[in-house]
Amino acid sequence: MKTPTTFGAFQTTFAGGPSNAIVTKLNAAGSALVYSTYLSGSGGDNGLGIAVDSAGSAYVTGVTNGNFPTTPGAFQTTFSGGPNDAFVAKLNATGSALVYSTYLGGSGNEEGSSIAVDSVGSAYVTGATSSTDFPTTAGAFQMTFGGGSGDAFVTKLNAAGSALLYSTYLGGNGLVLDTGSAIAVDSAGSAYVTGFTDSTNFPTTSGAFQTTFGGGVNDAFVAKITDFAFLGSGSFVIGDLNAAVGSPVTFWGAQWAKVNSLSGGPAPNSFKGFADTAPQTCGGSWTSRPGNSSNPPDSVPPFMAVIASSSITKSGATISGDVPKIVIVKTNPGYGPSPGHTGTGTVVAKLCGS
């Protein structure tokens, strides 16, 4: 039976293969089509998740086995191999054109199960992958495949669909596929994901409701993934002995050296907590000048990457330290660039290091 399409829609004819994805908008009474279009190539595709922004544009994710329509400049314009890739596509409000369309996959098997969109048009996608080379981003929560048959993934695309803002695996090494089934996003840009897993080592967090596998074939999971920033002008620093997840920390202020504990010994009293350099990987070092170092930012984001140093030394006019660990800090109100406006927060995650 032919799927009804509308005049002027993006794709009005069946593209071939066993199935095509479709996107249809009904009027408020459900009595007529506002638009209806195929969204597919000739290989066989299915749409599995949809979201709509405030302007009426539709964001669609699903599964394709190739020849899917993509747009110039999109993140991934060619099929990556394997049985299937996920796809992410944005249709304009009238359903007449693609704003962007991209594959999302590695050399294994992927499907996009659910999609959400934030207030600035960034798309958040979850699903499942069996690829060891699924595209992830530097500093993401889980950059490598967890093992087993497959992992869930969580990916955030920029508003143009041209780049990944972050992309991470989310899984363990169970025998059955770990799958992200649904996703939502809050006003702060945090993603909430649910799905199922049979992995006894699925990543959980200290203090969460249920941190161990319950048995049976699968457990459901619920995860919150926080977006964070690397500061472009430098990095705040805390002592490594303060850097446990859940610990309250002071990352900036006149009393920095008194409230930060380092395993390698006390820091110079002149250091206020801001380094001139912004390393994004563990194992390096940073340098700063005495006192306030370079001017810290006027404001801090809700979540940011912070260096945890074990040793800080002063040599002449230079203060320097190591980078054994980088953590994510949820910042508190009250920060100001003056050392008298103490910067405080709570460690919510470890980015790298031990």
Give first-to-last CA distance, the chain, whole Å.
59
Query: What is the Cβ-side half-sphere exposure of residue 120, based on CA atoms within 13 angstroms?
Result: 10
Same domain flag for 98 and 126: yes
225, 247, 267 - which closes a domain: 225
Residue 170's H or E segment, with its range, is strand 164-170
91 occurs within a structural domain: yes
Report the C-alpha gap between 47 and 89 in whole angstroms. 10
6 occurs within a structural domain: no
Same domain flag for 117 and 42: yes
Report phi then psi at 207, rounded to 5.
Answer: 85, -5
The alpha carbon dihedral of 169, 171, 172, 176 has a sign of: negative
16 occurs within a structural domain: no
pLDDT value, residue 354: 77
Residue 256's H or E segment, with its range, is helix 256-259
- Tokens for 189, please give them: 């840009």
Helix (H, G, I), strand (E, B), or coil: what is residue 258?
A: helix
Same domain flag for 101 and 210: yes
Query: What is the Cβ-side half-sphere exposure of residue 9, based on CA atoms within 13 angstroms?
Result: 20
182, 197, 225 - which closes a domain: 225
Q: How many residues are there in the chain?
A: 354
344 occurs within a structural domain: yes
Residue 259's H or E segment, with its range, is helix 256-259
- Tokens for 179, please give them: 């799958």
102 occurs within a structural domain: yes
Helix (H, G, I), strand (E, B), or coil: what is residue 235?
A: strand
Helix (H, G, I), strand (E, B), or coil: what is residue 242?
A: helix
Same domain flag for 221 and 239: no
pLDDT value, residue 153: 98
Cross-strand pairs, 62: 47, 87
2 occurs within a structural domain: no
pLDDT value, residue 188: 72
225, 248, 280 - which closes a domain: 225
Same domain flag for 92 and 215: yes
Residue pair 149/174 in contact (Cβ under 8 Å)? The answer is: yes
pLDDT value, residue 352: 83
CB-based burial, 12-35: b 16+ in 10 Å, e otherwise: eeebebeebbbbbbeeeeeeeeeb
Containing structural domain, residue 245: 235-353
Residue pair 156/137 in contact (Cβ under 8 Å)? The answer is: no
Which residue's entry shows tokens 């409000």? 93
93 occurs within a structural domain: yes
pLDDT value, residue 136: 93
Same domain flag for 80 and 176: yes
pLDDT value, residue 292: 57
> 61: closest CA among 117, 11, 115?
115
DSSP string, 266-332: PPPTT--SEES----STT-EEEE-STT-SPPPSS--SEEEEEEES-EEEETTEEEEE-SEEEEEEEP
Domain count, the chain: 2
8 occurs within a structural domain: no
Report the C-alpha gap between 196 and 140 in whole angstroms. 21
Report the C-alpha gap between 77 and 86 in whole angstroms. 12
Same domain flag for 209 and 331: no
pLDDT in tens, the chain (354 residues): 578 999 999 999 999 999 999 999 999 999 999 999 999 999 889 999 999 999 999 999 999 999 999 999 999 999 998 999 999 999 999 999 999 999 999 999 999 999 999 988 999 999 999 999 999 987 688 999 999 999 999 999 999 999 998 999 999 999 888 999 999 998 878 899 999 999 999 999 878 999 999 988 999 999 999 878 788 889 999 999 999 988 999 999 999 999 999 999 999 999 999 998 877 788 999 998 776 566 799 999 888 999 999 999 998 888 999 999 999 898 999 999 998 899 999 998 888 887
Global confidence as pTM: 0.75
CB-based burial, 97-129: b 16+ in 10 Å, e otherwise: ebbbbbbbbbebbbbbbbbbbbeebbbbbbbbb
